[in-house]
Amino acid sequence: MTAAHAKSWTALDVIATSLSREAIEYGLMEAGALGTETSAAPDDCFNVRGYFDIPPDIELVRAELIQALMIHGHFTSATLNLKTSEFADRDWLAEWKKSWRPVEVGRFIIAPPWIDSVALASSGGSGAPPIIIRINPGMAFGTGTHETTRLCLKAIEKHFLGGSFLDVGTGTGILAIAAAKMFPDARIEACDIDAEAIEIAKDNARLNEVADRIYFRVGSVNDETESADLVCANLTAPVIVELLPLLLGATCGRLVLSGILDSQVEMVKSRLLELAVVDFEIDQDGEWAALVI
């Protein structure tokens, strides 16, 4: 390829807070970005960069970002400042892969497919043999980097003793995959209202060689959902409050509620008390909380 015909890429940068970071990453992918990269920015913010192989329509990107923020309850009246830049092809994907680091949560080590498994096996720090989960990052919520996912993984390691497991709002499938890897004989079900997320979750399950152990379906919890020993619902606080009677009805052991900001804990606790639930524990990671019932 001559220099005159060298491929160029468009980078689109968005400033995000710690609360909106993951929604911004997701919105960029929905807008057609082939990958995202997040770095620290001033005032405890983050710069989220999306890479596009053709120049994107800025207003369409803005609409996708606003939609993603609204879904996760983080949208404010603040203006989204989008900046683009062009650069020649320099295999940015290889550079992005090189900078990716595995995430460790107890026994679980979450890593993309390209990181060597020998290096991962030596990095588990909990004493028990590490459980390696392969997830393609940047494709859907739940790559192990977000506090809400880490809280769920901690709860699974602590409370899941086998039997049956239900993952409501599975995203990348990471929680269902973790449960399936802990107990190969367990009955695992995972659901999401987003059909594309279910396909991504199935791909990740195949990547981890547990696809035949997990029943994936498009939908949510309902009156006919088979009860499980451990139910994980990593959603948002308003959705949790709405689904709480159904989630409790689907639980015959413990229920893990995550995706709750510390400012929203009282709202969830009030709904639990209305439903006569008084026995629960709270775990926290930064500004996020998980309730285990």
Token pair for 194? 């987003």
Q: Assess whether pLDDT exceeds 70 at residue 144.
A: no
- 131 lies in the same domain as 250: yes
- 234 lies in the same domain as 174: yes
Share of the chain above pLDDT 70, in %: 85
- 255 lies in the same domain as 209: yes
pLDDT value at residue 178: 97
pLDDT tens per residue across span 84-122: 988 776 666 666 666 667 888 999 998 888 877 655 555
Q: Assess whether pLDDT exceeds 80 at residue 160.
A: yes
Token pair for 144? 């192990």
- 198 lies in the same domain as 133: yes
Q: Assess whether pLDDT exceeds 60 at residue 80.
A: yes
CA angle, residues 97, 284, 138, in degrees to nearest 5: 20
Token pair for 146? 């977000």
- 30 lies in the same domain as 127: no
- 92 lies in the same domain as 104: no
Whether the Cβ atoms of residue 36 and residue 49 lie closer than 8 Å to each other: yes
pLDDT value at residue 129: 85
Instruction: Work out how many domains the chain is built from and give that number.
Output: 2
Lowest-confidence region among 120-129, 215-224, 281-290 = 120-129
- 159 lies in the same domain as 28: no
pLDDT value at residue 30: 86
- Residue finishing a domain among 41, 68, 97: 97
pLDDT value at residue 99: 64
- 122 lies in the same domain as 78: no
- Residue finishing a domain among 65, 97, 129: 97
**Mean of the per-residue pLDDT values of the chain:** 86
Alpha-carbon span 278 to 215, nearest angstrom: 32
CA atoms within 13 A on the CB side of 259: 24
pLDDT tens per residue across span 243-252: 999 999 999 9
Phi and psi at residue 172, to the nearest 5°? -75, -5
- 35 lies in the same domain as 64: yes
CA angle, residues 175, 118, 173, in degrees to nearest 5: 15
- Residue finishing a domain among 97, 131, 150: 97
Alpha-carbon span 67 to 72, nearest angstrom: 9
Domain of residue 220, residue span: 100-292
Q: What is the 3-state secondary structure (H, E, C) of the chain?
A: CCHHHCCEEEEEEEEECCCCHHHHHHHHHHCCCCEEEEEEECCCEEEEEEEECCCCCHHHHHHHHHHHHHHCCCCCCCCCCEEEEEEECCCHHHHHHHHCCCEEECCEEEECCCCCHHHHHCCCCCCCCCEEEECCCCCCCCCCCCHHHHHHHHHHHHHCCCCEEEEECCCCCHHHHHHHHHCCCCEEEEEECCHHHHHHHHHHHHHCCCHHHEEEEECCCCCCCCCEEEEEEECCHHHHHHHHHHHHHCEEEEEEEEEEEHHHHHHHHHHHHHCCCCCCEEEEECCEEEEEC
- 202 lies in the same domain as 157: yes
Alpha-carbon span 47 to 278, nearest angstrom: 41
- 163 lies in the same domain as 182: yes
Pick the more confident residue, 33 or 156. 156
Q: Assess whether pLDDT exceeds 70 at residue 270.
A: yes
- 71 lies in the same domain as 161: no
Pick the more confident residue, 126 or 14. 14
CATH label of the domain that carries residue 241: 3.40.50.150
pLDDT tens per residue across span 36-74: 888 888 888 889 999 888 899 999 999 999 988 887 776
CATH label of the domain that carries residue 33: 3.30.70.120
Q: Assess whether pLDDT exceeds 60 at residue 242.
A: yes
Pick the more confident residue, 4 or 238. 238
Token pair for 88? 């020649």
**pLDDT (mean) for 138-146:** 57
Which residues are within 8 A (CB) of 71 and not within 5 positions of it... i.e. 6 or more apart?
Answer: 23, 236
Token pair for 44? 């405890």
